[in-house]
Amino acid sequence: MFTLVPVNFFDPAAAREVLSDVAQLKSTDEVKYEQVPQYGAVLIYVSGGPGEGLPEIFYLLRDLPSCKEYNKLLCSWQDGILSMAVAQGKSLLLANCYEAPDFTTAQYYIYSALKSLQLNPEVTTIHFKHTLPEEYQLSLYRYFKSVDCK
Express each pLDDT in 88-114 by its tens digit.
999 999 999 999 999 999 999 999 999
**pLDDT at residue 16, rounded to an integer:** 94
CA dihedral 86, 5, 66, 146 (to 10 degrees): -10
Angle at 30 between CA 36 and CA 1, to 5 degrees: 55
Instruction: Encode pLDDT of 13-69 as tens digits.
Output: 999 999 999 999 999 889 999 999 999 999 999 987 655 789 999 999 999 999 999
d(CA 17, CA 10): 11
Q: pLDDT at residue 127 above 70?
A: yes
Say what the pTM is: 0.91
